Amino acid sequence: IRGLGVEGYGLYILLNSAASYLPVLSLGAGLALVKYLSEHDSVAEGRAVRGVLRAGAWMHLGPAALGGAVLWATAPRLAATFLHVPDARLDDAVLVLRAAAVGGTFLSAFQWAIASLQGLRRFDLQNLLVVSQGVLMSTGALTLIALGHGVVAIAWWFAALNVLCFCAGAVLVLLEIAPMPESGPPAKLRPFFLFGLGAWPGPMACIVSNQVDKLFVLRVQQLVSLTLYAVPTAVLQRLQVLPASVASVLLPTVSAASRPESAETLCRIYLRVMRIMLALLWPTYVLLFAFMPQLLSLWLGGRFGDDSVWPARLLVAGQALAVMAYVPNTITVGLGRSLFATVLAWVQAGLSLLLWALLVPRYGILGAAAGAAAGQALPAVVYVVFVQARLLRLGLRRFLADGLAAPFISSAVLLAAAMLLH
């Protein structure tokens, strides 16, 4: 923000938002890869593993390349007509969108490698790739700023980095499957494609919930307002690393233990994972809620402390409730009930869109935060209760006692102490 300016950082947000749409075109292949690779015995079913990997690669790269071509061609019209970018930054916005077209295409291909390693249970290699991508993106951007370059140079670094990360990921996947003998029956691709298509609307809805709010803000207000809103949003997105990591390990575990006789084991796993995850996350949300004015003012300056505090607090409150849906979502996908997660995601997306359309024109970024918080939190709470009763046969009293009681009580005490100190 200090190096690019508030408007320049708004274009940087636009880069990431535009690129994030393209991997969603993979037709749900990521979840399908994790599920079906986890179910195959990699030693005895090497032929099936290779077939699933090839199908996943085509699904990740083909549709994303087509979407990237459309984004490249329509970038001038999108920037000027749809996004209402100011004339002074219009040329930069077009170049940023075109870099997003290239980078987003290879980001989708990179996610094929990530999902493949996750399905093969090579979490060490998966983490190595993801951490390397994040570190190289940040350090590359800061280096370019230090050398006097702007957001356009950072955008093309984003594109080049995703090409490199995909190549590295593809090499690791090929090395991982190289020792597997070409044995066993061929892959049954029809269930693979059907599962992916069934799960596909879910990630699409997540993009709507996590990115379209920024488009509402940009269309109604200016690049400055987009930055004031997106910075606290980005802080909260960093906190999703923990539940996403839990889900990445939990999904193949649930897929491998999905037999009817494992019902009580799944209940115990569910309660323990939920309790531990909330015990780690809720105190962090409490501290962010209490000290958001100090954090934003000391970190970014008075304007953020004045304009972004209550939007950020609403987002924190909504995210603290919505995060409870991570574990039941993973359970449903692992049990082959991906439709449950898809319905939740689209209910959240639809409610958020409705609230943004009503609130953003009137209340600006505060309305965007209120719409995002309510749209995510309210369906998530209902969903948690529904999944427990329908799939796990878990009573509400047991869930409250064994899953929520400890993290809720400790977080409530911490909130009271933090607000007194604040």
Give the mean pLDDT per block of 10 residues along the chain (422 residues).
85 89 87 79 71 90 94 92 84 94 96 91 91 95 95 96 96 89 73 78 76 79 76 81 77 64 78 89 92 81 76 91 88 77 87 93 90 93 88 85 91 92 80
pLDDT for 309: 85
Burial call 152-173: b when 16+ CB within 10 Å, e when fewer = bbbbbbbbebbbebbebbbebb
pLDDT for 92: 93
pLDDT for 233: 83
The most distant pair of C-alpha atoms in the chain lies apart, rounded to whole Å, by 65
pLDDT for 93: 92
Contacts of 123 (CB under 8 A, 6+ apart): 117, 248, 249
Name which of 319, 317, 315, 322 is nearest 384 in CA terms. Answer: 322
Structure-block tokens of residue 153: 């140079």
What region does 182 belong to: left with phi over 0, alpha with psi -120 to 50, or beta? beta
Q: Distance (Å, rounded) from C-alpha 238 to C-alpha 118?
A: 20
Question: Among all chains, which residue has been given the structure tokens 């490249």?
Answer: 72
Burial call 283-314: b when 16+ CB within 10 Å, e when fewer = bbbbbbbbebbebbbeebeeebbebbbebbbb
Amino acid residing at 175 = L
